[in-house]
Structure 1
Amino acid sequence: MPYLVSDVMTRTVVALRKRAAFKDIARTMRRWKVSALPVLDGDRRVVGVVSEADLLPKEMLRDAPDLYARSRGRPGIAKADATAAEDLMTAPAVTVRSDVTVACAARIMAQHRLKRLPVVDDKGVLQGIVSRTDLLKVFLREDAEIAGEVRREVVARFFGVTVEPIRVDVRDGVVTLTGRVRDTSLVPVVTRLVRSVEGVVDVDCALYGPPRDLNLEPVLPDEVRTEWADGPGTVV
């Protein structure tokens, strides 16, 4: 089974109330060494996220008031006047359910260019948070664990009967498959399935079909002599 967000997410989360003050937000980020915080309503539902990028316009106002004045009304610049989380936050928040796969969460992060996602239930209530670092935990699986899953979940299911035993070796997440199988049409499918196993970095597939049986596949001669109705002839 693929890893789910619930397998890797952090369940202890620092969050903000909507009325959290600017300086409290900055202190909280510094104290917990995080660059973004989810914002909750009274029912613990995630309504937005405040990141360091949301706080930076305030610094722009302090350092370059003339530039700020010329930029007023542009998206994001208005946050320089904000003093509470509900005015600073980016909303609606991009979230993820705990029962989706790690691969799905990675795609969402890549699409939205995010470093972390609040994890919510079906009502939007905060359950945890998942970061890029969390998603990479699958690559910390031991080679022996990966090899066992490949043998059990892929090789045994697709190649129950083989010409010779299939060898599965894993080193630093790279899976090597060697041996002979009866049906080579399954090899591309098996390669893709092995690649999808959590923690696999790459696949080196060296599976071959059964050796040719020359008794069953005779080699035809270059010439076949026959007799035509009008006399002997040669067909080449």
Structure 2
Amino acid sequence: MTHTVVAVGSEAPFKQIVEPLGQWKVSAVPVLAGEGRVVGVVSEADLLAKEEFRGRGDLLKVFLRPDEEIAGEIRHSVLGRLPSTDSLTVEVTDGVVTLGGSLPDRTLVPVAARALRAVEGVVDVRLDLTHR
């Protein structure tokens, strides 16, 4: 038991749920709504039970990557493999990637989206793209 209670809001994004688990080395956090009313509990076991996380190793380590590190990997590993990506911009906030700019061909949009989602630490992908 701990004297400090760490909780998350019911509208918290995924990364804000995962962060206290790693930072405080706890296995679960209460979920609060409204004026501090407990509406549930999220545990690491709940997250690992989700099909998309099975077999992915240390869940916390993956989702606690700094945004700058994720953006750097995207610029180097993902954009470096796509043609004509000079005009693309990458922003990462709380693990959510926003890719903006122009691609030479619209068929590259789903390719880029899949490649972004494959980067460890990416929680979601938002595309603000045009094609030439």
Number of paired residues?
82
The 3 A distance-change label for structure 1 pair 158 and 108 is closer
Equivalent residue for 1:184, pick from 84, 90, 106: 106
Equivalent residue for 2:72, pick from 139, 148, 160: 148
Residue type matched to 1:147 in 2? A
Question: Alignment RMSD, CA only?
Answer: 2.4
Structure 1 gap segments, 5+ residues each: 1-103, 110-129, 211-236
Equivalent residue for 2:90, pick from 135, 144, 168: 168
Residue type matched to 1:181 in 2? L
Equivalent residue for 1:196, pick from 83, 105, 118: 118
Structure 2 gap segments, 5+ residues each: 1-50
Q: How does 1:15-164 map to 2 (within 5 A)?
A: 106-107=53-54, 134-159=58-83, 161-162=84-85
Residue type matched to 2:54 in 1? R
SS of residue paired to 1:145: helix
State TM-score, norm by structure 1.
Answer: 0.32
Structure 1 residue 206 displacement after superposition: 1.1
The 3 A distance-change label for structure 1 pair 108 and 178 is closer
Deviation sequence 1:23-73 (CA, Å, 0-9, x none): xxxxxxxxxxxxxxxxxxxxxxxxxxxxxxxxxxxxxxxxxxxxxxxxxxx
Larger RCO (CA within 8 A; separation ≥ 6): 2
Structure 1 outlier segments of 4+, above 4 Å: none
State the identity %: 53
State TM-score, norm by structure 2.
Answer: 0.55
Higher radius of gyration, 1 or 2: 1
Counterparts of 2:104 and 2:79 in 1: how far apart (Å)?
13
Q: 1:207 aligned to 2:129?
A: yes
